[in-house]
Amino acid sequence: MEKRGDGTSLYGTFIRLSWHASGTYSKADNSGGSNGGRMRFTPEAGWGANAGLKVARDALEPVKAKFPGLSYADLYTYAGVVAVEEAGGPIIPFATGRTDESDGKASPPDGRLPDADKGARIATITHVRDIFYRMGFNDQEIVALLGAHAMGRCHTDRSGYWGPWSNAENTFSNEYYRLLVEERWSPKVTHNGKPWTGPDQYEDASGQLMMLPSDIAMIADPEFKKWVELYAKDEDRFFNDFSKAFAKLLSLGVPFAATKPWYQF
């Protein structure tokens, strides 16, 4: 995968694309999810949460041109699988079979993807649980999924936040958890010697790494923290749990999931 001039690459953005394509799911009525490939249409293309993901969708167009039989819905999710594996992460069980819709009429309402900050810490913790429980995940799976933040970075022109979470944003590892427990995280007040005017975020002592309020929630809540501490110590366990949770995320609401076993290409 091509590395961009600013030191970042598309790995992180592909993983985020696959997660945002899938994370609209609600188990209450089986709506949302990656089936349909609707992020290329209004309204999902214009949601604030999806800002910047056009970069990833556009980068996949040559693949779609080469394999026209592959649906956008499969392509957007498979891009995340390939990014995780190419970056040194675990094998992710994956099956094709998603179909495309021809417009965004069946998109769920905006607001199903998480906010990184709900003001008070307890409100942020509750919000994260509400969002992921709606999809059918438990606390352990939430913490495992968040480990993807070892990859990629925040962009001021997309989310308003700045910076990478880890020292190796193109390598899939358990670094996110190690940094959460080992570093001292304080509110960011300056950026490049000037006052920080962006949304509330946290930085390490060097000022080069970041955490969102929702990441800090992972060590502020004792149930979440338990898993953070485990994954910080045991990368194999993290890889195993991430693989299962990510495969589940990408298949939420997809009709094949109930009847057809996942398989590897």
Residue 136 binds ligand HEM (CB under 6 A)? no
Q: Which stretch binds ligand HEM (CB under 6 A): 60-68, 133-141, 144-152, 181-189?
A: 144-152
- Can you list the alpha helix ranges (DSSP code H) found in 29-161? 53-59, 61-66, 72-86, 121-135, 139-146
Using the Cα atoms of residue 42, residue 48, residue 54 and residue 57 in order, give the sign of their dihedral: negative
Q: Interface with ligand HEM by CB under 6 A: which range of 71-79, 149-157, 203-211, 226-234?
A: 149-157
Using the minimum distance from each CB to ligand HEM, give the nearer residue, 91 or 105: 91
CB–CB of 212/159 below 8 Å?
A: no
Does residue 165 carry a catalytic annotation? Answer: yes
Q: Site residues for ligand HEM, window 112-131 (CB under 6 A)?
A: 114, 116, 128
Q: Between 8 and 105, whose beta carbon lies closer to ligand HEM?
A: 8
- The nearest distance, CB 251 to ligand HEM, in angstroms, is 14
Residue 20: active-site member: yes
CA distance 222 to 235: 20
Give which of 133, 121, 131 is closest to 215, Cα–Cα: 121
With binding defined as CB under 6 A, does residue 161 bind ligand HEM?
Answer: yes
The SS3 call for residue 163 is strand
How buried is residue 249: exposed, middle or buried, by Cβ count under 10 Å (0-12/13-18/19+)? buried
Residue 121 near residue 220, CB atoms below 8 Å: yes
Out of 43, 52, 93, 198, name the contact with ligand HEM by CB under 6 A: 52
Which tokens in the block code for residue 46? Answer: 């214009």
Cβ 68 to ligand HEM shortest distance, Å: 27
Site track 64-103 with ligand HEM (rule: CB under 6 A), x = hit: ----------------------------------------
Structure tokens at 66: 């080469």
Q: Is the preceding omega at residue 62 within 30 degrees of 0, hence cis?
A: no
Catalytic residue among 19, 47, 162, 165: 165
Could you say which of 75, 154, 209, 247 contacts ligand HEM (CB under 6 A)? 154
Pair 97, 260: CB distance under 8 Å: yes
Q: Which is nearer to ligand HEM, 27 or 99 (CB)?
A: 27
State which residue, 41 or 162, has the beta carbon closest to ligand HEM. Answer: 162
67 or 240: whose CB is closer to ligand HEM? 240
Which residues contact residue 195 at a Cβ distance below 8 angstroms, ignoring those fewer than 6 apart? 189
198 binds ligand HEM (CB under 6 A): no
| Position 57 contacts ligand HEM (CB under 6 A) | no
Active site residues: 20, 165
